[in-house]
Amino acid sequence: MLVDIHTHLYGGRKTVANLLSHLDLYGGGKSVVLPIAGGEVTAVRDHAWPNEEALAAVDEKPGQVFAFCHVNPFDRNALETISKLHATGKIKGLGEHKVKLPVDHPYSMEMYRLCGELGLPVLIHFDYSDHHNYNFPAFEGVLKALPGTTFIGHAMAYWSNVSADADSDYKSPAFKDYPEGKVVRGGLTDRWLSDYPNLYGDLSATSGFNAMARDEEFGAEFLARHRKKLMWGSDCPCPEGKGMVQPNGKFRQCLSERMLPVLRKLCSSKAHYEDITWHNAERLLKI
């Protein structure tokens, strides 16, 4: 049994059957669909991965597919929309919150605060420059200001900051979204996961894989230290768990195929592995 905390209906994975066949190859389980609103400041400016598609996926396979919701922070009805979607009983969180704003923008803060009141975790994509939820160090202020809101961190800035020497100068020629080599203990993400009960980690995508695989000694320690606060996800577009040829003609290996063996290797026991790939998401999302 697996719970994939991070899936989208996009790329080669456009149907609920794709979501579940992808999981079936690795033992079967449950899939959490994350929409992203369209709009000027969002990651999908000219289109959307809409809430309606996520809700339809839940209706198609109740008990196996679950959904988050997302709204554009600049939508004047954003808070009302979140409340209405929550009232359907089908929404388990807000996300993927992937917007071209600082992480502590006032409009986002309003959304985070409401989600805390409604009991909805917020899954945030952290990036650099003026991309998505930038100004990562400011996130500690968000955690302090909103202790009643549960946050799930994801993506490059979140996972590079497991290391205390993470490079935030995205203009530097040496800057890498996926840094290599030994991790320097004391990174922001590592410390915050210890210090703030309302922070969790989404291990999906190349960013999560790289954070654990770049220094396996550290990865094993980190997985043990935060055993109850980390959740596996794929964030993979391939339809059946076997990888896919990208539009540029290059083959991309399935992200599940890459990450699950790393977790099996680095987790201290079968029960530890199952916490991260299954039980933590079930407990947090009540699924």
Please name the fold of domain 2-285.
TIM Barrel (3.20.20)
pLDDT value of position 247: 82
Task: Say if residue 138's pLDDT is above 90.
Answer: yes
For the segment 14-20, the average pLDDT, to the nearest whole number, is: 89
81-93 pLDDT per residue, tens: 999 999 999 999 9
Q: Cα separation of 85 and 213, whole Å? A: 38
Share of the chain above pLDDT 70, in %: 98
Task: Say if residue 134's pLDDT is above 70.
Answer: yes
Q: Cα separation of 65 and 17, whole Å? A: 10
pLDDT, the chain, mean: 94
For residue 194, the one-letter residue type is S
Task: Say if residue 48's pLDDT is above 80.
Answer: no
Task: Say if residue 46's pLDDT is above 70.
Answer: no
Q: Which of 208, 275, 201, 213 is nearest to 236 (CA)?
A: 208
> Token pair 């993470």 is at which residue?
166
For the segment 191-213, the average pLDDT, to the nearest whole number, is: 98
186-196 pLDDT per residue, tens: 999 999 999 99
Pairing of strands 91-97, 65-69: parallel
pLDDT value of position 47: 67
For the segment 186-207, the average pLDDT, to the nearest whole number, is: 98
Q: Cα separation of 144 and 41, whole Å? A: 25
pLDDT value of position 65: 97
Task: Say if residue 129's pLDDT is above 80.
Answer: no
Task: Say if residue 8's pLDDT is above 90.
Answer: yes
**Cβ contacts of residue 248 below 8 Å, gap of 6+?**
none
Task: Say if residue 45's pLDDT is above 80.
Answer: no
90-128 pLDDT per residue, tens: 999 999 999 999 999 999 999 999 999 999 999 999 998
Task: Say if residue 176's pLDDT is above 90.
Answer: no
Tokens at 186, concatenated: 């004391």
For the segment 129-143, the average pLDDT, to the nearest whole number, is: 90
For the segment 35-49, the average pLDDT, to the nearest whole number, is: 78
> Token pair 């993506």 is at which residue?
155
For the segment 243-251, the average pLDDT, to the nearest whole number, is: 85
Task: Say if residue 130's pLDDT is above 70.
Answer: no
Q: Cα separation of 285 and 233, whole Å? A: 14
Could you tell me the pLDDT band of residue 170, with boundaries at 50, 70 and 90? confident
Could you tell me which residue, 244 or 75, shows the higher pLDDT?
Answer: 75
pLDDT value of position 279: 98
Q: Cα separation of 279 and 271, whole Å? A: 9
Task: Say if residue 3's pLDDT is above 90.
Answer: yes
**Cβ contacts of residue 230 below 8 Å, gap of 6+?**
200, 201, 203, 223, 276, 280
**DSSP codes joined into one string, 16-71:** HHHHHHHHHTTT-EEEEE--B-BSTTBTBTTS-B-HHHHHHHHHHSTTTEEEEE--
Task: Say if residue 42's pLDDT is above 80.
Answer: no
